[in-house]
Structure 1
């Protein structure tokens, strides 16, 4: 009888690489990196079983700073690389780190198909509403009218909303957090890590050089209780400094109401992150500050569904049972062959 050697107890410092962190001082990326290092030791996994894969952008330097396996891949293709890895090594925990430019512009198609397949991956999208690495051009999430180096007269592209895209692609886990809300961010990272299937987490992240204050309304201590709403499963949608406001449905439309003026908590919309029907989660993803709503943070959706990585490996195993293990040489020489002279 063999006795398994217990895993060493890891600390956040064990996940820090020997590389100097080269983000601008004050960048929100530092907070995400710090919370990731705090969460990983709680998962009980050895570092050799954890992989970070990124594309191109400021956020995509993440693998350099983690003392795990990792790959800095090509622009927008991190979900494709991660899909290949997870399909062939289902024993690994795979994280995809991307940004609003990398993930939603050149990588939008890869991101969408990765989500719909429900790979067992954790996708963290850093959203600062700007291209930071290429020095301040507008991104797919920049608001209308945003003046940047590439839009001196104001952006005229309708912005994409990451969570709406994820929910539209039937993501099984969708959440949002904010770089400065470190306790909440840590909780969301842990929830994402524990989910089986694609976990998609958007993080409002400040670029203090090229788009400082993009999320000021959601981070300012004086305003954030009025402009954000923390989702809690099974609880009514209540917000405000005095917890005196809520969200209810007026037909199919959400509206802000005040409690205590003939309106009770039971009249409000109750959050159900486990609903198989994504319509209400999508509705929440459309609530935005500029339209007069508090913006939800927390878990929008968390459901179970078949995983692509499990199903593809089940098919491979079934094919081996039916046809044998196979031989690469035989495959290359099967069917018609010819010589080119």
Structure 2
């Protein structure tokens, strides 16, 4: 079994002291270790933002994608070698802003990959602008009079698209987040883990203290994540009580299961020596 420190690199994180990314980073390494996954068996795709800097700090195969395009790249990697454990990492601006259309269609396909979204409700890397998950009235450099849009609800959105695994974690609860990540990675199908993480520099509203007064664990209230309607109702809870845990889980064939080309082996293992593309090339000559 790989130890958590085997997922370290020679580089040290450059996040702000107290950033929720540290908790997610350590929880992920611990989850991978406890699942007995080796660095060589994992491919991770990162987007643009503070979360994307994790590309330098986790020892696995990695690809740093352009803004909002983590899921298309992760999809390509998974289809090329579906034996790899593929994990995509985005922030709320990256994943729920420019990347939101890719999320919906990745959910529909039910590819067997995990999507971790660092949701701090602000664009932190660009020094504090309103993001798609910022609350109405949220004051930033881009909204000095307060945000006038309603925040999107990523859990409800992906539930409506047919997601087979949806969870929400909290960066202030590393043991709980580690277990959520393990369950998400084990899941056969597309799994979303939306992680509530404070931005200690640019979000002075949704702080650790703010969350700790409000979050509660679904499993501690006897909740069972086996009904979509029940999950949707819980996804609407926000304010004085904020649920964390697994909202919904179901078993369904993955996208890869439905592709005849992958039935015998992964694409990278298939022999292409007898494929002649001469005629096709001549057409473009």
Structure 1 residue matching 2:192: 3-state secondary structure: strand
Q: Deviations over 1:114-140 (max 9, x none)?
A: 111111111001111100001101000
Query: Normalization by structure 2: what TM-score?
Result: 0.91
Aligned residues of 2:172 and 2:208 also touching (Cα < 8 A): no
Distance 2:249 2:207 in 1: 25
- Equivalent residue for 1:166? 158
- Equivalent residue for 1:102? 94
Aligned residues of 1:52 and 1:62 also touching (Cα < 8 A): no
Cα offset, 1:50, TM superposition: 0.6
Cα offset, 1:75, TM superposition: 0.4
Query: Is 1:274–2:226 an aligned residue pair?
Result: yes
Aligned residues of 2:122 and 2:133 also touching (Cα < 8 A): yes
- Structure 1 pair 77–299 and aligned structure 2 pair: CA distance change class (3 A): same
Cα offset, 1:228, TM superposition: 2.7
- Equivalent residue for 1:327? 275
Cα offset, 1:317, TM superposition: 5.4
Cα offset, 1:230, TM superposition: 1.2
- Equivalent residue for 1:48? 40
Structure 1 residue matching 2:63: 3-state secondary structure: strand
1:25-174 mapped onto 2 (5 Å cutoff): 25-174=17-166
- Structure 1 pair 327–214 and aligned structure 2 pair: CA distance change class (3 A): same
Distance 1:307 1:152 in 2: 45
Aligned residues of 2:199 and 2:207 also touching (Cα < 8 A): no
- Structure 1 pair 331–280 and aligned structure 2 pair: CA distance change class (3 A): farther
Distance 1:328 1:301 in 2: 47
Aligned residues of 1:204 and 1:215 also touching (Cα < 8 A): no
- Structure 1 pair 135–46 and aligned structure 2 pair: CA distance change class (3 A): same
- Equivalent residue for 1:231? 218
Distance 1:217 1:164 in 2: 25
**Larger RCO: Structure 1 or Structure 2 (Cα < 8 Å, ≥ 6 residues apart)?**
2
Distance 1:110 1:331 in 2: 35
Q: Determine which structure has more spread, i.e. the larger CA radius of gyration.
A: 1
Distance 1:338 1:85 in 2: 28
- Equivalent residue for 1:266? none
Q: 1:310 aligns with which of 233, 245, 257?
A: 257
1:166-315 mapped onto 2 (5 Å cutoff): 166-216=158-208, 219-220=211-212, 223=213, 227-232=214-219, 237=221, 271-275=223-227, 278-289=228-239, 292=240, 294-312=241-259, 314-315=260-261
Unaligned runs of 5+ in 1: 1-8, 238-269, 319-323
- Equivalent residue for 1:242? none
Structure 1 residue matching 2:277: 3-state secondary structure: helix
Q: Deviations over 1:29-60 (max 9, x none)?
A: 00110111111111122210111101100001
- Equivalent residue for 1:24? 16
Aligned residues: 278
- Structure 1 pair 330–163 and aligned structure 2 pair: CA distance change class (3 A): same
Query: Normalization by structure 1: what TM-score?
Result: 0.77
Cα offset, 1:207, TM superposition: 0.6
CA RMSD of aligned residues (A): 2.0
